[in-house]
Amino acid sequence: MASAGGGPGGGQGGATRRFRAAAGRLARPRPDADKLRPAEGLLRNHRLQHPKADLSVVRRAYLVAERLHDGQLRKSGEPYVTHPLAVAEILADLGMDTPTIAAALLHDTVEDTDYTIAELRAEFGEEVAVLVDGVTKLDGSKWGVTAEAETFRKMILTSAADLRVLVIKLADRLHNLRTLGFQPRHKQERIARASLELLVPFAERLGMYSLKREMDDLCFASLFPEEHAACAAAVAAGEEEARRQLEPALQRFREALADSNVSGQVVLHRRHLYAIHTDTKGNLDGLLPAEMFRILVLVDGLDQECYVALGAVHAALHPIPGHLKDFIALPRFNMYRSLHTRVIDQGGSVLDVMIRSTRMHRMAEYGIAASIADAASASAAETVTGRIDLEWLRRLLAWQNDATSADFLESLRGDLRPGSIATFTPRGHVIPLPAHATPIDFAYALDPEIGNHAIGVLVNGRLAALNSRLYNGAVVEILTAPDANPSPEWLRDVKTPAARLLIHRALTEQRADDVSTVGRRMLAKAIEARGLELLDLEASGASRLVARHLGFLESDQMYAAVAANTVRIDDLVAKLTDPDL
């Protein structure tokens, strides 16, 4: 998006941008061949990955973007069109489809020029228009302080129908982070911090670790430049020696795979700087080889052969008990599948090993982008419906509608915080939850009605408290009663924004019901003094008719007004007992 990478025109206002765009369109056009020269690499890359792609769509999208952004500059001084072109190139490297590439080229036109979404739809079709609209920021002059929150809300809602919106947004932010150095210092920090809180977690949730790692390091460099430089220097100084020390272990694994008739590669997987800094807590003295690299075993065959490779690894070097993680049988919430183990080499050093098939590796690096690129359907749109690996997004969609703009971003940050556990229903359905979640969170993740009527829980077959902490792998069964209601104390215990919002709503409705009951009891007593029954007036429809006459949608609202003394009970009794009613 324009604002994150040095807005067009070096911060010029919208009117100036539109004037320049209009002036550019009136200028004498250059031949298309000259204009398309900067996009030649993009076109070649896209054709390489999609031999049957209609490149004319990409060409037209670039020419429209080049024409509309003519005269606009980035903070770097480069023509603004270099930004959408770079975003499109990132997406082409991921293997994304033609509509996504076209939308990337056009993604700032509606926001930063006088081009309308209607014009874009007429020229490029509904599919591209939906993608562009999904990543277009709302007008800050109209939305004020709520613009950022509502822009994210719109993007998430659009992503429910087509996850390519999020993929474009991540590529857009990645390029803006790459060019963040041209921004003033205060803006660098704001964008980097917002990226770490919101966009980087989205990349992780979508399994796009290749983007996540680079975004992590770019934010790290912006927020903590000295620490980043120190970490980079320490890694550079120790990398050659680390590779030399790890080579014997790699060779043992290669021989063990060959002995087990498993075809594959054994390579070093470099850890990114932000991960090294976090794990070492900035203590870089004597940085160990295993702190710089993990060992990656890539199996050429079927997924089942990863377990054979695991046996070979454990035969080659002694495994450390309790450190085997099977993300193949139990994938993470973001499509990530791999075997993780920890072994001790002959020198006594601890080594982390990852084992996965080549197909798993592609998914581990590119996540949802790989899934979209592999889609066999005519449209590469990916939706949330029916995808267990996107349960987190389904829950996000469920609670966002109940959140105000003020609460939405804070709740979103909480929902995206790192760390998660996998819990199970008795039938084996996986319910991903944040770390430290409680059975109350679990109940509301299943269904709001289950949460509202929860009275107890069985964890791994044993009774537990509803506010107890759940752990990875727990089998949870919620006990309910039809007349049960949420407790206000639950708000202290829950960790998920969805549960908190649903409890708030249930308590509000409960209080309204309680007040309505009090008012109805007061009215019934007053009517009984006239020798009548309120129940009869309700059955005849008189109560509802009077409520509507007084401006209430339902009788319960009128009863609540009686309890609040905003409707005089004598006047109401007179109306209800009026024989001409």
- pLDDT tens column, 399-426: 666 666 556 666 677 666 666 777 889 9
Residue 240 annotated as catalytic: no
3-state helix, strand, coil in the chain (%, to 5): 60, 10, 30
Higher pLDDT, 256 or 395: 256
Q: DSSP label at 37?
A: G
Q: How far apart are CA 409 and CA 399, in angstroms?
A: 12
What ranges in 283-339 are assigned the alpha helix state H?
289-292, 305-316
Q: What is the largest CA-CA distance in the chain?
A: 99
Which tokens hold the place of 346?
């002959």
Over the chain, what is the mean pLDDT?
84
- Contact yes or no for 262/301 (Cβ under 8 A): yes
Higher pLDDT, 516 or 91: 91
Q: How far apart are CA 440 and CA 484, in angstroms?
A: 13
Q: Which of 372, 373, 317 is nearest to 347 (CA)?
A: 317
Residue 214 annotated as catalytic: no
For 301-319, the pLDDT digits (tens) are 889 999 999 999 999 999 9
Q: How far apart are CA 194 and CA 71, in angstroms?
A: 29
Higher pLDDT, 136 or 398: 136
For 102-147, the pLDDT digits (tens) are 999 999 999 899 999 999 999 999 999 999 998 887 655 556 666 6
Residue labelled with tokens 């025109």: 9
pTM over 0.85: no
Neighbouring CB atoms inside 10 A of 489's CB total 11
pLDDT of 15 strictly over 90: no
Structural domains for the chain: 2-183 (1.10.3210.10), 227-369 (3.30.460.10)
Which tokens hold the place of 162?
């087509």
Q: Which of 298, 348, 352 is nearest to 324 (CA)?
A: 352
Which tokens hold the place of 55?
């490149």
- Contact yes or no for 415/392 (Cβ under 8 A): yes
Kindly list the distances between the CA atom of residue 95 and the CA atoms of 106, 159, 372, 399, 436, in Å, as whole numbers in the listed order.
18, 19, 9, 33, 37
Q: Quick one: what percent of the chain has pLDDT higher than 70?
A: 84
Catalytic one of 66, 89, 97, 111: 111
What ranges in 107-206 are assigned the alpha helix state H?
109-112, 117-124, 126-135, 140-143, 147-161, 164-178, 185-194, 200-205
Which phi and psi (to 5°) does residue 356 adopt? -155, 160
Catalytic one of 112, 133, 204, 217: 112
Amino acid at 130: V
Q: Which of 393, 431, 447, 445 is nearest to 161 (CA)?
A: 393
Q: Which of 440, 275, 418, 241 is nearest to 352 (CA)?
A: 275
